[in-house]
Amino acid sequence: MKQRHIKTNVKKAIILAGGEENRLPPLTNYHPAWMLPVINKSLIEFTIDFLRKSGIEEVMIIMSGNDEIPYKLKEHKTPDIQFHIKEKPRGTAGSIKDVEKFIDEETFIVINSNVFIENISLSKAIEFHHKMKTAAVVGVYKDVGSKKVRESIDIAPDGKIESFHITYYSTDRGSPWRSSGIYIFDPVIFKFIDKNTYMDIKEQLIPALQSESLDVFAYEIEGYYKCIDTVNDYVRVHREILLESDNKSPYLEDKEELMERVWTGKDVKISPKAYLLGPIVIGDGCTVEDWARIIGPAVIGNGCRISQEVLVRESILLNGIYLSNGSKIEYSIIGENANVPSNSYIKNMIALNGLKIGDANLIPSDYCVKGTVDLSGITPVTHNVYKIAKRIMDVALSAIGIILLLPLFLLIAVILKIDSPGPLFYTQMRCGIRGKLFGMVKFRTMVANAETLHKELVSKKDIDGPMFKLINDPRVTRFGKVLRKISLDELPQLFNVLKGEMSLVGPRPLIMDEMKFSPSWRDIRLSVKPGITGLWQVQGRSVAPFHDWIRYDVHYVKNQSLLLDMEILLKTIKAVLKKAGAY
């Protein structure tokens, strides 16, 4: 892990800390990802320390409006730290465009906030950047072990990046190269970032540079660092650090080794009747009572109280946790200030207060953490009951709708045939839950050769998001305009709902290319079934800006309930009758 720091000739860095770039739900319900502790020290503190040792003099932290600036960072002197608060999602590239004046005319570093850095050879990467005289360098690493990979990078023999790939439901792992979340840029890149629209680095900025014949190179980063994208990654980093740590470890500089491979902070009280088997790190002000057992690798945050006969096995406890008598915690993460009742048993879970259905939904089943526990009621929070009830509602309402609307279906079919030549229905492959493809059906509203005309019209679209929309699309037929205006073209999707490919309510199904601009938004919306209507649609439909689309989709997934679904359905009827935002 250890490596000598060599200072660089680059003096400025940007840390992308806020917005939907943050992942790790539901841990991020109460803390942004960059403030989550790793061995009792926030993730961003590791990044700041690394940048200081590398000779970076000024750091700009870009954060969202809801995030609170940590006191420790406010008081930081070296490097000088500044903050930029973004009020709406801007994407990774859009965010750095907002602080263009901070960069001036200098080469600069960009680091994602979810990167845990102990030691990397930043100076070598910068030297490579200058040697190649390139606009951008993407730090990469080779991943040869993962069985399920969603993102890969194709790299040419000369080191130039060819393309980024996102895959779902694929057995082909593709290239072993992955992005490290570390970039080196020259200021020329600002010319290719629109200051008014959403834009991401990998998905939009880099292709824009390549289209203008500006080279973008990949560089394999040397040293120890980890991209913490998931709860699995968060657990894995702790395990690796603990299993490899010794008394000389930089993570334990402020800790005392109380017994073999058990390190404690200040004012820690441990009963002589307790049993501790390292590696264990215990934070400041903790109490471990009689007959408590802690089996490592385990991390106990500051101010925790572990009562009598408690078992903690290979778990992570954040700050201020109270484990009551006889409770058992195994292979789990317990959230800050949690109060675990007596004789509770929590295994392979994330335990927090006030969890919702969407929190369980966002944890894939193949993770070491299998679900969530709401400590306000000490009950597992799963979406199974909701999912069953939602499916019953989908089947019942879609079946009733198809039967009642059958005469309208026949009328629309007759008029379509009279109005223009072509098939009655238009089917397009869209991404369903977990990215699984299905054929979404609509009444045809365009001329038969609409697909061939698409490329000629792409540059004229009227919305700032990834979807292609034209207010006066010349491909739309006369009757097609009527169907779109009152949203009757969407009615055949009731059959998709009946088949289980869609739900009545959910994020609208898109093709993968339309979601590549915001990876975290893509992953969140693909955790649930797509819907005929959704929260974004009832808030203005096609006229709502893309950053609001992101907010509404994320809000829906995290706050799912039958009451919210019914509310959206009722608002959809109202929006359709008003013809709001449809074209």
Domain boundaries, the chain: 12-229, 233-381, 385-578
Is 189 a residue whose pLDDT tops 90? yes
Query: pLDDT per residue over 484-526, tens digit each?
Result: 888 889 999 999 999 999 999 999 998 887 777 677 788 888 8
CA distances from 11 to 67, 75, 134 (A): 26, 20, 18
Distance CA 24, CA 38 (A): 13
Distance CA 148, CA 150 (A): 7
- Please tell me the pTM assigned to this model: 0.81
User: Under CATH, what is the fold of the domain 233-381?
Assistant: UDP N-Acetylglucosamine Acyltransferase; domain 1 (2.160.10)
CA distances from 147 to 153, 232, 349, 514 (A): 16, 14, 23, 25
Q: What is the pLDDT of residue 264?
A: 94
Distance CA 413, CA 232 (A): 51
Query: pLDDT per residue over 418-465, tens digit each?
Result: 988 888 999 989 999 888 899 999 999 888 766 665 565 555 554 555
DSSP 112: E
Confidence of residue 21 (pLDDT cuts 50, 70, 90): very low
Distance CA 376, CA 33 (A): 23
Q: What is the pLDDT of residue 58?
A: 92
Q: Which of 234, 238, 239 is nearest to 363 (CA)?
A: 234
Query: pLDDT per residue over 518-574, tens digit each?
Result: 777 888 888 889 999 998 888 755 556 777 788 888 888 888 888 999 999 998 888
3-state secondary structure of 562: helix
CA distances from 307 to 2, 39, 248, 332, 448 (A): 37, 22, 31, 18, 71
Q: What is the pLDDT of residue 283?
A: 94
Distance CA 100, CA 256 (A): 45
Distance CA 98, CA 312 (A): 46
Mean model confidence pLDDT for the chain: 84
Q: Which residue has the tokens 């009328």?
A: 411
Query: pLDDT per residue over 103-149, tens digit each?
Result: 988 899 999 988 898 888 888 999 999 999 999 999 999 887 665 55
CATH code for residues 12-229: 3.90.550.10
Is 348 a residue whose pLDDT tops 90? no
Is 3 a residue whose pLDDT tops 50? no
Distance CA 510, CA 144 (A): 31
Is 165 a residue whose pLDDT tops 60? yes
Comparison of pLDDT for 115 and 364, the residue scoring more: 115
Confidence of residue 2 (pLDDT cuts 50, 70, 90): very low
